[in-house]
Amino acid sequence: MFAFETAFCQNSSWGKPYAGNDPSLLYYPDQNAVYFRYGWENKKDQGIVIKGKMPEARYFSFNLYNDYTKGSIAALADFEIVPDEDDRSNYTIHIMPEQLAGKYQNQIILPDSIQIASVFLRYYLPNGNVYANKPLPVIYLLDKNILNPALPGIPVAPMSTEDMAKLKNMVMANPQIITGKERKLLSSNTATIQEKEPIISKVMTMPIFKHYTDPGSIGAFNYNSSGNYPNKDNHYIVMPVLRKKDDLLVVRFKAPTHAIQLGDTTKNVRYFSLSEGNEYNNTSITMHDEQLKISNDGFVYVVVANDSKEARSKAIEMGINFMPWMYKDRIVLILRHMLPSPGFKNSTREVQIFDNRKPAKGQEAQHTIGDFALVGKFISKSAWKSYSSIEQVGF
């Protein structure tokens, strides 16, 4: 259909890898994932073509975003990507502005309303290395039916004036959300977007902690994640938790069946995991499906507590999972279901997005998906020491 540039692009147009196990990374990454970003200005008469090789990983996908809002536009998951006819180990992705959209294989359409776009390549559980044992895909710019290697991508776009105004209003309404030092940095004209992003994330995240009400019955909610570069194939529920003492948090959820092979859509989900994060959108630890012990009753039980030999030994004794409490008083636990099958009606996908106009009570995930939801409760140290089985927790 168009002439291909044959020279290999030695200098990758992708930005540096975002490794999920980097605790400074924002937007609550799964620690078993790696992300590669490419950003560009939508000139409306030029397309983006990406040519790559099928990776060695549990999952991979391409997600297209509005880089100003960090909201998802469209996505292609591995099982939707049709291999090239001449070599089925290769694939070609076409990201086309509206006027160039056509009968391209593996096409994602970029709306004219988007000024700055970015595409994220994601691998989950890549084999061998962050590149899933394959060269990074090569990005080309399609201009007048000619493909030329793309230049390096542009940096993450700054927030729009309108969004900054909304952010300012949120801070004014809840001045205790951030410290004086953070407020000064946020209003600085010289601070970079990289310096401001953690504070912006904190402002957006902190309000969820007001939905934590009962330490004896803690629920999870489906908060709107549109401003956090969400993966369209992941469906999240988030449990905000506040700890006033050094009590132990015990959570549980029923385990869905999961696939282990790239492209397998026969199980409840492709992948599931439980992550622990903080109010800045950082993630400190993720335990995925193959790491989580499933009890005989079909539930995954996890005790979250100060890390000690005694706490870990007790969890092993009771046959459950241990996760260290990594932050001071506030944590969020994130349960992910990736690519739930159409027939799996107890997926986190089914939980309605949280409505701020309504009370939190009644919007917990368990009201929609029952035992597959993440629920928890705090247990005192003395009570925990007296328990000999997880059943005594009394879910």
The domain limits of the chain are 18-149, 161-207, 212-393
Local confidence pLDDT in tens for the 395 residues of the chain: 333 333 333 458 999 999 999 988 988 999 999 999 999 999 999 999 999 999 999 999 999 999 988 899 999 999 999 999 999 999 999 999 999 999 999 999 999 999 999 999 999 999 999 999 999 999 999 998 899 999 999 998 876 677 777 777 888 888 888 899 998 988 888 988 788 888 888 888 888 999 998 999 999 999 988 778 899 999 999 999 999 888 999 999 999 999 999 999 999 999 999 999 999 999 999 999 999 999 999 999 999 999 999 999 999 999 999 999 999 999 999 999 999 999 999 999 999 999 999 999 999 999 999 999 999 999 999 999 999 999 999 99
List C-alpha distances in Å: 61 to 27, 103, 129, 221. 18, 20, 17, 25
d(CA 183, CA 361): 32
Closest among 52, 49, 14 to 34, alpha carbons compared: 14
Structure tokens at 231: 């993966």
Helix (H) or strand (E) holding 334: strand 330-338
CATH 2.60.120 fits 212-393, yes or no: yes
Pairing of strands 321-324, 299-305: parallel
Q: Which CATH class is domain 18-149?
A: mainly beta
pLDDT at 9: 37
d(CA 51, CA 137): 5
CB 329 within 8 A of CB 244: yes
Contacts 24+ apart (CB under 8 A), 196-203: 197/26, 197/156, 198/26, 198/280, 198/281, 198/282, 200/159, 200/167, 201/26, 201/27, 201/228, 201/280, 201/281, 202/177, 202/178, 202/279, 202/280, 202/281, 203/167, 203/170, 203/171, 203/177, 203/178
Residue type present at position 132: A
Number of neighbouring beta carbons within 10 Å of residue 342: 8
Structure tokens at 111: 């709306």
d(CA 54, CA 7): 20
pLDDT at 3: 35
pLDDT at 202: 87
Closest among 387, 332, 380 to 216, alpha carbons compared: 380
